[in-house]
Structure 1
Amino acid sequence: MSWIEIERNAGMKLYWTPASPFTRKVSVSAQELGISDRIEVIPTKWPLVWAYSTIPFTPGLAESNPMARIPTLVTDAGVSLGDSTLICQHLDAVAGGGRLIPTGEAAWRMWSLYAVADGLLEAQVAMRAERLRPVPNQSEGFLSKQRDRIRRCFDRIEERAGELACPPDALPNLAMITVGVACGYQDWREWLFDFREGHPRLAAWAAGFVERPSMASTRPSETPEH
């Protein structure tokens, strides 16, 4: 069963798109935690002018989150969470806590690596948005800045690749999931460079992580425009 083919009477509601790496982070987390059947997925549509214009939003999205960002989760209690980090924290708590997010000192090391990986996602999406602007309006300087950020983030993750090892009897933590999603997005967008060059330990880890069922069932695809 794919991520989108889940129960429609679930308690939580997730505004979703197949292209967003932030949404994929949430989707993978829910599947790893075994609670995806408790989330109703609400697909959204995004005309390509979303990068620089206000568009008609999927009904309920802007009402739930005035920023109209993807992903947005409405909890069982009706609380709207419009940030993927908050959503993943909530899902971890719903599943009992401490499963994707370590406790104690280990949590700070995880959050440190997570911040690098999440910043990498931000730079990737910033490049995507800039490339959607009319070509005469695109800034090569801005695109170059984001490429530099992406490369620095991959360099740092390579340095810390030993922290990506996941024991066979444990779930990957949120930093591992976010690194895996970042690698997947880098591969999916043909205009992004190959992250494997100069990052052999990360490349070896990513080759295995991408085979996890939660990753295989959430591979990105373009979001419908209409």
Structure 2
Amino acid sequence: MMKLIYSTASPYARTARIFIQELGLQEEVKEVFQHPFENPEELIAANPLCKVPCLITDEGQAIFDSQVICEYLDSIAGNQLFKDISHDWHQKTLYSLTRGLLDSAVAWQQDKMREPEQRSEFWQERFIKSIDRGLEYFEQRLEELPRDFSAIHVNLITVLDYLDFRHPEYQWQDKFEILKKWWVAYKEKPSIVATQPKA
């Protein structure tokens, strides 16, 4: 059985966990919670960066980086969630934007976790502005997303939920009403409900 090392707070790990459920791989992948800040030996042995998610295959091979893990899982399940993305440069760009939004939201959280005198208003403003622009970009292009539920949907929903989780003061639902209506249509999916972020 494969093993996915994850943490409940990581949005990157959450994307892999959503993939597992959407692809029906629950019986083939065992999810193992580990906190990367505790430097668990198993995680370090598998991933020298000590980051989650990390997938260990049946053969004992470690696969890390959420995109690589998600693509691997999708490949063994018949190419379902990347099928409209893999050979379309525009869809690839939209997918890349979701990853960039995740990066900005996580970097913003990391700066907020610093001691007050070490925080950077300059960088926090840049992270917020990039999120502003990215969400506005998506709000204007939702009709361009794949018709079927896809990796883009997974990442974008994860971004929005992470903003609620770590940055409630941002109040994205008040800023982007069209995007909120889109999100409402998916937020009760079992895979989304079961993987809600937790501290």
Pairwise same-fold verdict (TM > 0.5): yes
Q: Secondary structure at the match of 1:102?
A: coil
Q: Deviations over 1:127-151 (max 9, x none)?
A: 1111111111111111111111111
TM-score, L = length of structure 2: 0.92
Give the aligned partner of residue 186 of structure 1. 163
Secondary structure of 1:209's partner? Answer: coil
SS in 2 for 1:36: coil
User: Is 1:74 paired with 2:64?
Assistant: no
Matching of residue 61 in structure 1 with residue 38 in structure 2: no
What is the alpha-carbon root mean square deviation over aligned residues? 1.8
* Greater RCO, 1 or 2 (C-alpha within 8 Å, sep 6+): 1
User: Could you report, residue by residue, the CA deviation over 1:67-92 in whole angstroms, capped at 9, with x for unpaired residues?
Assistant: 11111111222221110000000000
Map of 2:91 onto structure 1: 110
Post-superposition offset of 1:106:
5.5
The residue aligned with 2:179 is: 202
Q: Which residue of 2 aligns with 1:16?
A: 6
- Structure 2 matches for 1:1-226, cutoff 5 A? 11-46=1-36, 50=37, 56-97=38-79, 99-102=80-83, 107-164=88-145, 166=147, 170=148, 172-222=149-199
Cα distance change, pair 191–201 in 1 and its aligned pair in 2 (3 A): closer
Contact 1:14 1:71 survives alignment (8 Å):
yes
Whole-Å separation in 1 of the counterparts to 2:146 and 2:183: 11
60-69 or 184-193, which moves further after superposition? 184-193
* Paired amino acid for 1:78: G
SS of the aligned residue for 2:27 comes to: helix
Partner amino acid, structure 2, of 1:143? Q
State which drifts further: 76-85 or 86-95.
76-85
SS of 2:35's equivalent in the other structure is coil
Q: Structure 1 pair 82/165, CA: closer, same or farther in 2 (3 Å)? A: closer
Query: What per-residue deviation string (whole Å, max 9, x for no partner) do you get for residues 111-132 of structure 1?
Result: 2111111110001110111111
Say if 1:72 and 1:81, in contact at 8 Å, map to a contact too: yes
Displacement after TM superposition at 1:190 (Å): 3.9
- In structure 1, runs of 5+ residues without a counterpart are 1-10, 51-55
Q: Which runs of 5+ in 2 are unaligned?
A: none
Quote the Cα distance in structure 2 between the aligned partners of 1:62 and 1:15.
11
Whether the aligned pair in 2 keeps the contact of 1:44 and 1:58 (CA below 8 Å) is yes
> Structure 2 counterpart of 1:119, which letter?
G
Q: State, as a whole percentage, how many aligned pairs show the same letter.
A: 28
* Ranges of 4+ aligned residues in structure 1 off by more than 3 Å: 103-107
Q: Residues 203, 103 of structure 1: CA spacing in aligned structure 2 closer, same or farther, 3 A cutoff? A: closer
Alpha-carbon spacing, 1:57–1:104, altered in 2? closer, same or farther (3 Å): closer
TM (norm. structure 1) is 0.82
Number of residue pairs the alignment of both structures matches: 199
Q: Structure 1 219/134 Cα, relative in aligned 2: closer, same or farther at 3 Å?
A: same
The CA deviation string for residues 5-58 of structure 1, in whole angstroms up to 9 with x for no partner, is: xxxxxx111111001111111111110111122111121125xxx5xxxxx412
